[in-house]
Structure 1
């Protein structure tokens, strides 16, 4: 393969369905305090029933439900107050027929009781006597010992990133560490004689700082990966091939920023073909058509266009799901979205998926246009709109789904 012409461009749907490298990161033990958004290797199960004891969900009185049947404001039931349950302690009193026990929310249900009457429907008419004005059914105001989860039940499934509520559920069950996929290490290699490190204080004519690498590192980190900015490769024959070969053993995914197009200086396709297998070169997406996908020694590789806007848009569509998949998550968590009306017509070409940046104000999506070399287009955007492949555009006023940036 010469690297100077595109293969037949694949659709984004074909890429997501067909480019599915087998690589997954191995398992490691992770303390619960650092487990947010980590992906469990296997389903995490409860070591015991949760909450582990029958407890009250309201402040009130533990009763036998049958003793409240027929109670009303005009004809209340009168029950003997037998004692009270203290929080965090085993009850030292039982409920007998015609009696009740004072209950705090979360307290242990005493023996003999099968319901809790809310305090709002009671009154102490005289010392030691409780008036009940509403009937309750068995189980009212009570959480069973295994109602949250039974012993052996799933607390968190395999393959789904842990969310904040999951951490609380695991903590309640006494799970202090989990077996999770290691975070994927993603090497980001920049290319081009004109590219200099971001820390370069003063640029000479023709130089640009490696801005795409920093932005790509942010996308990798947001997807649960560990970005590794692996330097800048000059436009010299063999240089990119050598650098990719160097980073492969330490990487779960390699991203080559720039060099995937078909210009005289674009070396990604040739370099990758020499050490791996190119899966496709060209995706029917705008911006980002010159994207290259490959595998090298079992490590997936993405070759991105040089223009920052194109690189970041296509990495969000292809690279981010791939980072999640390598980390053991087959269905990446969805980004937030909102519905809005287009402020103007959007033109598109049939057979190509367009990703259009938009600003959203008061329910209106205003497209933001600009050359693919400008990062300001993305920096000004609140999210993006997809114009699907079959469409030839969208009319002003069309209600669209806007995927929002976090």
Structure 2
């Protein structure tokens, strides 16, 4: 009998505690609602306020528009207030249309880029690689070979060649419009000049670039190229009518051959280069540097009757945040003398620490104020200073002992 009564009492206590807890919560809710209702006319039950606000909004919508200050506006004034918004939206639409028009203009259907454009006009190459452009970029194999030959070293030309290589590595394979010349995509040099003997005296790398461009001109209407051009045009202009009978426009992009552009591209201004405290070694010129000018390619492209697109060089000045200091050499290294001098000057400007343990009492002497500029971290003792003065005298003769010679005690 005791075994049956034990679980029954426990269950009754649990049910009683639950009932008391629910009653206490209901009492607390009633007290809170009463307190809120007594706070003012604007506060009541949240359910009543919600229905009242809904009704007020419905009435306001039917009666007219209200000003943010609470004043009611006429329908005409509401229309007048909407006019600036409509005008601003129209201006935004016009601006978007203008941007779209500028984006839709393309330089050509197929652009064969020379190494001179990759090196000196990398900004234009990035522009062609952007999303929304329609140009198909063909990079000749000889242009890649030129970048490999020029990217060694610390010169500005080598840095530009490395930057172009990084851009091509990021774009080729991911961007379907950026392609590298296939191994069989070339025309024989004898077939470039129709009905005439090919002129002699052209370097081999120029011939390979011209043969690649001629192959792209002759095979621009192939099925693969035509489908790529059609797909790119359909993505950017879905509503435009595409002309399948029109032959694709192929150009050879070369660096502009004007005198000012060539001098600025090949010999960049060194006004930002600081003066070095020591004479710098003469810059070593790369024997493959003529490949980056594009002059020979432009000359032989005119003889081969290829359409040339001249591209202006991109600005290559250093940014303000990355400008070297006045003590850094052009090659980016610091000399030990410069580093030591700059450290002493910084200490002279800052002065000693204020919270040092032995402030003002070093070696029994009181140091007042900050040391002058040029003082080092360690004070030299008088004996060392006397020895340095003795060594610095020009009349002092220092004799170097020969091998096996002993020093005379009298000297």
Normalised TM-score (structure 1) = 0.23
Larger-Rg structure: 2
> In proportion to residue count, which structure has more helix?
2
